[in-house]
Amino acid sequence: MSHRGAFIVIEGLDRSGKTTQTETIQKRIQEAGKEVVCIKFPDRSTSIGKMIDSYLRSQSNLDDHVVHLLFSANRWELASTILAHLKQGKVVLCDRYAFSGIAFSVAKNLPPINLAWARAPDASLPSPDLTLFLDISPEAAQSRGGYGEERYEKEGMQRRSQERISDGKGGGKGTWIIVDAGRDMSAVTEEMWVHIRPLLDGLDTPVGRLWD
């Protein structure tokens, strides 16, 4: 395996600051003179992403199993793109990934959608080298403007998915770091940067696969 870029995932609940921090960290990486590509899941621009978007905005109804598989398929749509960027030595910064998929589906409490069932479709996707989990209580997240109109933006769902989100991390060789996201934005950025900076020069190990 030749030298490659690092695959870094930013996870966390609604309003934990994932998108804000992804943008800040992207600028920092560029200022450090490194190439970075940002990806966000769900990617609502693809044909599968448009189905997800319509479901999340309650403009369509879909079976819960189908929705779960669509979220996973949305990641598979971009898997080869992620690998290609890494191969070119670029940092790939990803706003939500498979851990969100597992957490939100298992939080529905609808057997047979248990942890094993929910993890299966994401098996063999590129595995992050580093996952930064932005940890915030549902109360603190809600104080950042309250939940919006989307289907999962309800306190019970947020609380249950928070309990589940780190269950998804089992397996994979990457590092999982919990960051206290209840602090001011710059404090959160600084802590994230401590973990990201050592990866900017790339890695010589092959890209891992979920859930090896």
Which entry of ligand Z5A, Mg ion, none binds 104, CB below 5 to 8 A by partner kind? ligand Z5A
Q: Which is nearer to ligand Z5A, 4 or 68 (CB)?
A: 68
Q: Which is nearer to Mg ion, 19 or 81 (CB)?
A: 19
Q: Where are the strands (E) in the chain, listed by range?
A: 7-12, 36-40, 91-95, 130-135, 175-180
Nearest CA-CA partner of 101 in 126, 64, 57? 64
**Measured from the CB of residue 185, what is the shortest distance to ligand Z5A in angstroms?**
4
Q: 130 near 178, Cβ under 8 Å? A: no
**Measured from the CB of residue 1, what is the shortest distance to Mg ion in angstroms?**
32
Q: Which is nearer to ligand Z5A, 22 or 37 (CB)?
A: 22
d(CA 29, CA 38): 11
Q: Mark the segment that binds Mg ion (CB under 5 A) among 11-19, 25-33, 81-89, 140-148.
A: 11-19
Q: Where are the strands (E) in 23-63, listed by range?
A: 36-40
d(CA 44, CA 36): 21
Each residue 19-58 as x (binds Mg ion by CB under 5 A) or -, in order, gives x---------------------------------------
d(CA 196, CA 132): 9
d(CA 43, CA 52): 9
* Footprint of ligand Z5A (CB under 6 A): 12, 14-20, 41-42, 56, 71, 96, 100-101, 104, 144-145, 152-153, 184-185, 188
